[in-house]
Structure 1
Amino acid sequence: MELRQLIYFTAIAQAGTITAAAQKLHMSQPPLSLQLQKLEDELGCPLFERDTRHLHLTPAGELFYERAQAILQQCADLKREMADLQAGGRGLLRIGVVSSLSTSLLPRWVARFHEQYPQVRLELTERDSFRLLELVRSQRIDLALVRRPFSGQGLNIHPICSEPMCAVGRHHFFDGAEGSISPMALANLPLLLYRRWEPMLMRFFAESGFEPQVLCCSEDSHTVLRLAREGLGVACTPLSATCELQPGTEIHPLQAKELYSEICAVTLQGHYTGAAARNFIRFTQEEQ
């Protein structure tokens, strides 16, 4: 059995026909059919059921496809690992980041990382958490910087730091309060919520026995902060997301251990994580 036969077999399984697989592999149909026949002869069982139009995996073919995919992935990971060894501190690092980190912690992390690893090129993608996790799963980015909670199925989660949720708004909403405040102080204030944090906040408020006055919900964390800056209401957001606020806007951490944000780096489980990604994750963890 040869590695190229696994490549041919998976291409046929994905394409559904010999003709389509041959086009994908940039080869003619007869040699591809011959290699498939040799593979089935060697294994002693058919891998496909044939009808007039398509090929369908047999039970043996489904098992073989799963194993072949794993072997090919290991080969691809091995090539990346060898390239990493040759490149040392060089290469391309593809990072996905949520908006609440892109203008706060990320610039500092990237600048200091670049000081230590100047030969690493960076490609940054800003999306919401759920889209970033899909990009990790499809291997279109090397790692994502996101906030919990999220479904971690099939992912490696690397905790970086935790920070409190804060109330953010113009000074007249807080009656001269200084430092951290009780969430109960928000009971009669117009709240501006980022949709990502709405379930956690509403659950906490319900358990605390009051119904908040939600004036606005937004899909963008920057939007709720801009509205708070304009005096429309009080935004609830993680501490690091408040870095761009202007004078006259106050920030008060909320006194509740349940109201916090955990920042994590996420990589794909079961796949090789390159040296640049590993170094970046370690660097961010050591920065805290």
Structure 2
Amino acid sequence: MDFYQMKCVLTVAKHHSVSKAAEELCVTPPSLSQQIKKAEDELGVKLFVRSTHDIWPSEAGNEFIKRAQKIFAELSKMNDIMNNYASGTIGHLVIGCVPVMKESGLLHFIKLFTERYPHISLEFYEAECFDLYPLLYSGKIDVLISTAADPEKPKKIKLKSYPLAEDELVLVTSKKHRFANRGIIKLKETAKEPFISFSPSSSLFRVTVDACRRSGFMPVSSCRTHNFDTALGLVAANGGVAIVPLKKVTHTKWKNISIHRLSPKISRTLYLVFLRSGIAKINPIVENFEQFMAQCHLNLHFDEYN
């Protein structure tokens, strides 16, 4: 027996009338009667007892109706759940992010998103900027919070980026350093300073190198680390200088570190990055996340790059 025949039986039982049931189902009474007969022939029992004016379920019909109603209720529940998945209100979202979530203020918006979509679970994959892009291309992460565009992006990949926040980069030195009591430092003055540098896969490394090049020199690394606290510890010990985000260094309290603004000013933008429409079917949860973040930042606009 198919679901349509089951629906026919339930509709006739609801109205106690073939003609009224046929009107609801938008079929002719003879066609509906034929479906009821097919169901009865297949089951080998009479589902209805007919009188001159009405039609009533038989004992077997009552049992059938009780179980069919449970099936349709479960089917309706299943459809609702599937609709939730299709509309992106239930499921799982993997966010790849550079380690700036706390100081950027984005955690507040993430919290608001989880309140609006309580049935979406979030997973964060934290790594350096250029280590995350391949994970986005392969689908291992759904969205990316990044501080730079990927210079090695395959041509076939199309991305949509959305600016979220901007941070100024500053020079940090030991309080024993010759710059310690100065507020603003010209970047070219640091040409002979030993730099504490970060991973080449981080945007901070590339921003630092590019800024120094524009000021006429290449920074010389005395030490390289993947860890921000390690870098600040080396700076505090007067092992070198470093260029770091202002928001991040002010969230970390170090007694022996001086913070200096740079001239010319160096800034870094934090982006939300998605695979652009047309490459594959867009995950509806990603669409909801994109729209939510757009509502939080209505004064900014998406940038698309090939």
> Which of the five TM-score ranges fits, normalised by the shorter chain?
0.5 to 0.7
Aligned AA for 2:289? A
Which structure carries more helix by proportion?
A: 1
SS at match of 2:139: coil
CA contact 1:160–1:284 (8 Å) conserved in 2: no
What are the ranges of 5 or more consecutive residues in structure 2 without an aligned counterpart? Answer: 1-80, 301-306
SS at match of 1:233: coil
Bigger Rg, structure 1 or 2: 2
The aligned residue for residue 160 of structure 2 is 156
TM-aligned CA deviation for residue 206 of structure 1 = 3.6
TM-aligned CA deviation for residue 207 of structure 1 = 3.6
Pair 1:205–1:86, CA change in 2 (3 A): closer
Q: 1:249 aligned to 246, 252, 257, which one? A: 257
Give the root-mean-square deviation of aligned CA atoms.
3.2
SS at match of 2:255: coil
CA contact 1:145–1:263 (8 Å) conserved in 2: yes
1:233-248 to 2 correspondences below 5 Å:
233-242=240-249, 243-248=251-256
TM-aligned CA deviation for residue 86 of structure 1 = 4.9
The aligned residue for residue 202 of structure 1 is 209
Say whether residues 1:285 and 2:292 are aligned partners: no
* TM-score relative to the length of structure 1: 0.59
TM-aligned CA deviation for residue 145 of structure 1 = 0.4
The aligned residue for residue 263 of structure 1 is 270
Question: Higher mean Cα deviation, 221-230 or 168-177?
Answer: 221-230
**Alpha-carbon separation, structure 1, partners of 2:114 and 2:96:** 17
What are the ranges of 5 or more consecutive residues in structure 1 without an aligned counterpart? Answer: 1-79
**Alpha-carbon separation, structure 1, partners of 2:262 and 2:82:** 45
CA displacement 1:67-98 (0-9 Å, x = unmatched) = xxxxxxxxxxxxx995456564x432211111
Say whether residues 1:184 and 2:214 are aligned partners: no
CA displacement 1:231-274 (0-9 Å, x = unmatched) = 422211222332223233232232224x3212111111234153
TM-aligned CA deviation for residue 230 of structure 1 = 4.0
Say whether residues 1:96 and 2:108 are aligned partners: no
Aligned AA for 2:224? C
Say whether residues 1:272 and 2:271 are aligned partners: no
CA contact 1:142–1:277 (8 Å) conserved in 2: no
**Identity rate, percent:** 22
CA contact 1:229–1:245 (8 Å) conserved in 2: no
CA displacement 1:207-230 (0-9 Å, x = unmatched) = 423454431223444532342244
Pair 1:127–1:225, CA change in 2 (3 A): same
